Amino acid sequence: MNKIKYLLIVLVAVFIYSCQEDFETPPAPPSYNNVGPVVTNSVDDTTAVLLKENEDVAWDTLAWNAAVLYEGQGLITHYAIQIDEQGNNFASLFEIESSTTSETEIVITVGNLNTKLLANGYGPVQTYDLELRIKAHVHDDLDSVYSNIYPFTVTTYKDVPVPETLFLFGDATTVGWGADTSLTTYKEEGKYTIFTYLENDKQFRFLETQELEGENDFKYNFNSFAVLPDNVDDAGDDDDNNFKFTGATGWYKIEADYLTSTLTIAEHTVGSETYTYDYDNLYIVGDYNDADPFWDAGNAVAMTKVSEGLFTIEKQLKDGAMFKFLGQQSWGDLDWGNIGGDGNSGTLGPKEFNGNITFDGGDKTYEIEVNIKQGTYTFTEVATLPTSLYMIGNALNLDDSDSNGTPDGWQWELTDAPMIPVYSKPHLFWKIVWLNATGEFKFAPEKAWGNDFGYDSDLGGGEYSIGGTNLPVTGTSGYYMVVVDLEANKISIADPDVYLMGNTVGSWDTANPDAKFTVDNVNEVITITKDLAADEIRMYAWHPYFTDWWQSEFIVLSNIIEFRGNGGDQTRVNVTAGSNTVELNFKTGAGSITHN
């Protein structure tokens, strides 16, 4: 009825206009010879596989001649692309552009076509036989006309955003569910790769960042892929939709391809070797310092195996260092380097998927850790311990300011207080020193300011953590045993414990109370008077940080206290059998052994 009404309006308008010309001779009703659009550029890509990576690329450009619709009536013709499954007579069609364009050409992108298909009930990564036609249209109350029908076949993709970065975590991996320790994957366009360990019947998931941020944390779960390997399943864990690894526990190449919406988990094989995560030996080879062989696989340097798949070594590394890790002392099938090519990503790649590891080491020493099981490598600078340590402060020298007002106790040129290294313990230094009760002191690796240090926190029991604050003397003036442990970052201030050792006292027991010296602060000496057997006299300072008495040994030679330090066995001094007195003045460095 509406169409008849509309046509009547048109006819009346024509009639009134005609009456102005010749009222007595009305024209015949107009005849509308409508002609559908004629396609001039039809579907070129008739068998298309749509890919996420091409979402902005044209799938096809369609062009047609304008349709003829109600010619002469000033009506605008609009066009739409209609699509349905082949043979369905467009009973369940959907439209692209939805009758809003009057242009006679349209570019349909891959992303636009895929989005429309998914929005209209078509599944991802499925192949469909479809057909399209062009609809010409002027008004809902008027008939439309159509072009010929053009068939085509298309395969859709799963439209999951390609992340900028991707990380792997879960209890199926070596890192568990800590997002901050999740494993970095190697990105190549929309494909992410990692070689790592997976444990049977446990779960994992991917993350965009190494932080948990909410609902986006589950964007890359089991539902994010259309094509999955046969060794994973949905963990069935409510809304998380983690992957459950159903394959054998082992070391795998994991590829998450968001352009093809495909996850692959497969073993990596080179020659006769199927890579795994636990080996007995690992070697480093390359050009990384001036001491080790240059790219000589036959003499590659062995690393130390710490645990399953974990190896370490300490090496000096120069700027421009380049190296790899080998599973044999030859250029065989087992080697690991930086994943994907030369670089320093911290992620391991096996042969056929790696390059050299590159690193600017500045000729410093590093602990290199290779975790094959996890698929990572790291460098940790090994702190260079000083070979000497000095004390300074007004606790050692009473302040007597010079003419420029600088306290004498804090002047390096007026203070000579070297500490004693503990033999074969480069992190330990000790000193028995007289400290003034009202003073403070610090340490430095050389007799100069710049790298000096004091304490940070009072740990109790005379122990302090290393920091920047001057250490106070909390007791009375007298002798103290001061020990610095640069490995544990601790300082100990204790009463001195000095002992005789050996055949002269008839005992080789450490810290024997019958062989202990007495601290005599009144006379400013540490002394012992005791019946000794005729033999070599040996004495040492003791502290709980120490492990072997002889490593802190000293002796009196020519009335001077001589410390072993890092040196070898000292000249021996024999004592006469009977009562002997040993006096040690650590303020002056003088010592004496007197037969009574």
- 520-567 pLDDT, tens digit per residue, is 999 999 999 999 999 999 999 999 999 999 999 999 999 999 999 999
* Other Cβ atoms closer than 10 A to 142: 17
- Asked whether residue 95 falls in the same domain as residue 129, the answer is yes
- Segment 74-97 shows an average pLDDT of 92
- Asked whether residue 172 falls in the same domain as residue 214, the answer is yes
- Asked whether residue 39 falls in the same domain as residue 141, the answer is yes
State yes or no: pLDDT of 61 exceeds 80: yes
Residue 162 lies in a domain: no
Dihedral sign for Cα 108, 114, 119, 123, please: positive
> What is the rounded distance in angstroms from the CA atom of residue 300 to the CA atom of residue 56?
50
> What is the rounded distance in angstroms from the CA atom of residue 339 to the CA atom of residue 196?
12
State yes or no: pLDDT of 5 exceeds 50: no
Which residue blocks in 437-478 are alpha helix, DSSP H?
none
Q: Are 305 and 311 in contact (CB under 8 A)?
A: yes
At residue 332, the 3 state secondary structure works out as: coil
- Segment 507-529 shows an average pLDDT of 97
Residue 406 lies in a domain: yes
Q: Are 376 and 348 in contact (CB under 8 A)?
A: yes
- Asked whether residue 41 falls in the same domain as residue 103, the answer is yes
- Asked whether residue 585 falls in the same domain as residue 522, the answer is yes
pLDDT band of residue 383 (cuts 50, 70, 90) is confident
Rounded to whole angstroms, what are the CA distances from 512 to 498, 500, 504, 555, 586?
A: 10, 8, 13, 18, 22
| CA dihedral angle for residue 341, residue 342, residue 347, residue 353, rounded to 10 degrees | 30
The CATH number of the domain holding residue 472 is 2.60.40.3620
State yes or no: pLDDT of 56 exceeds 50: yes
- Of 40, 36, 63, 60, residue with least CA distance to 135: 36
Domain boundary among 226, 250, 267: 267
> What is the rounded distance in angstroms from the CA atom of residue 298 to the CA atom of residue 280?
17
Average model confidence (pLDDT) across the chain: 91
End-to-end Cα distance, the chain: 140
- Segment 37-56 shows an average pLDDT of 91
State yes or no: pLDDT of 48 exceeds 80: yes
> What is the rounded distance in angstroms from the CA atom of residue 379 to the CA atom of residue 288?
13
Residue 464 lies in a domain: yes
Tokens 């203070």, residue located: 415
- Segment 107-118 shows an average pLDDT of 94
State yes or no: pLDDT of 82 exceeds 90: yes
Kindly tell me the burial class for residue 3, based on how many C-beta atoms sit within 10 Å of its own C-beta (0-12, 13-18, 19 or more).
exposed
Tokens 């895929």, residue located: 114
Where b means 16+ CB within 10 Å and e means fewer, 352-382 reads: ebbebbbbebeeeebebbbbbbbbbbebeee
State yes or no: pLDDT of 20 exceeds 60: no
Residue 486 lies in a domain: yes
CA 579 to chain centre: 67
Give the model's pLDDT for residue 32.
75
Pairing of strands 150-155, 47-49: parallel
Give the model's pLDDT for residue 74.
83
- Asked whether residue 218 falls in the same domain as residue 177, the answer is yes
> What is the rounded distance in angstroms from the CA atom of residue 588 to the CA atom of residue 194?
65
* Other Cβ atoms closer than 10 A to 560: 12
Helix (H) or strand (E) holding 5: helix 2-22
Which domain, by its residues, includes 427? 390-494
Work out how many domains the chain is built from and give that number.
6
> What is the rounded distance in angstroms from the CA atom of residue 369 to the CA atom of residue 371?
6
Q: Are 11 and 29 in contact (CB under 8 A)?
A: yes
Which residues does residue 463 pair with via DSSP β-bridges, in sequence order?
Answer: 460, 492
Give the model's pLDDT for residue 392.
96
- Asked whether residue 334 falls in the same domain as residue 359, the answer is yes
- Asked whether residue 277 falls in the same domain as residue 262, the answer is no
Q: Which pairs with CB-CB distance under 8 Å and at least 24 residues apart come from 295-298? A: 297/326, 297/329, 297/330, 297/331, 298/329, 298/330
Give the model's pLDDT for residue 1.
40
Give the model's pLDDT for residue 397.
83
Give the model's pLDDT for residue 22.
43
Residue 294 lies in a domain: yes
pLDDT > 70 in the chain, percent: 92
- Of 540, 529, 496, 527, residue with least CA distance to 591: 527
- Of 463, 447, 434, residue with least CA distance to 524: 434
CA 482 to chain centre: 40
The CATH number of the domain holding residue 80 is 2.60.40.10
Domain boundary among 155, 182, 209: 155
What pLDDT, in 10s, does the model give residues 250-298? 999 999 999 888 999 999 999 999 999 999 999 999 999 999 999 999 9
- Asked whether residue 106 falls in the same domain as residue 196, the answer is no
Which residues does residue 128 pair with via DSSP β-bridges, in sequence order?
Answer: 154
- Segment 167-195 shows an average pLDDT of 95
- Asked whether residue 486 falls in the same domain as residue 512, the answer is no
The two tokens of residue 570 are: 């000292």
State yes or no: pLDDT of 112 exceeds 80: yes
Q: How many residues does the chain have?
A: 596
Give the model's pLDDT for residue 226.
85
pLDDT band of residue 203 (cuts 50, 70, 90) is very high
CA 521 to chain centre: 56
- Asked whether residue 12 falls in the same domain as residue 63, the answer is no
Give the model's pLDDT for residue 116.
95
State yes or no: pLDDT of 306 exceeds 80: yes
The two tokens of residue 177 are: 């569910």
Dihedral sign for Cα 502, 506, 509, 514, please: negative
At residue 228, the 3 state secondary structure works out as: coil
Rounded to whole angstroms, what are the CA distances from 244 to 230, 240, 267?
A: 11, 11, 17
Give the model's pLDDT for residue 238.
64
Q: How many CA atoms lie within 13 A of 156 on its CB side?
A: 24
What pLDDT, in 10s, does the model give residues 351-370? 999 999 999 999 999 999 99
- Asked whether residue 291 falls in the same domain as residue 330, the answer is yes
Residue 160 lies in a domain: no
> What is the rounded distance in angstroms from the CA atom of residue 238 to the CA atom of residue 53?
31
Residue 104 lies in a domain: yes
Give the model's pLDDT for residue 33.
85
> What is the rounded distance in angstroms from the CA atom of residue 67 to the CA atom of residue 514?
118
Q: How many CA atoms lie within 13 A of 10 on its CB side?
A: 18
Give the model's pLDDT for residue 76.
87
Q: Are 512 and 503 in contact (CB under 8 A)?
A: no
Write phi, then psi, for 19 (nearest 5 degrees): -65, -30
Rounded to whole angstroms, what are the CA distances from 54 to 83, 118, 260, 518?
A: 21, 16, 10, 87
State yes or no: pLDDT of 12 exceeds 70: no
State yes or no: pLDDT of 3 exceeds 70: no
Q: Are 290 and 321 in contact (CB under 8 A)?
A: no
Pairing of strands 310-317, 304-307: antiparallel
- Segment 196-201 shows an average pLDDT of 97
Q: Are 289 and 316 in contact (CB under 8 A)?
A: yes
Q: Are 391 and 410 in contact (CB under 8 A)?
A: no
Domain boundary among 319, 346, 381: 381
Give the model's pLDDT for residue 124.
87
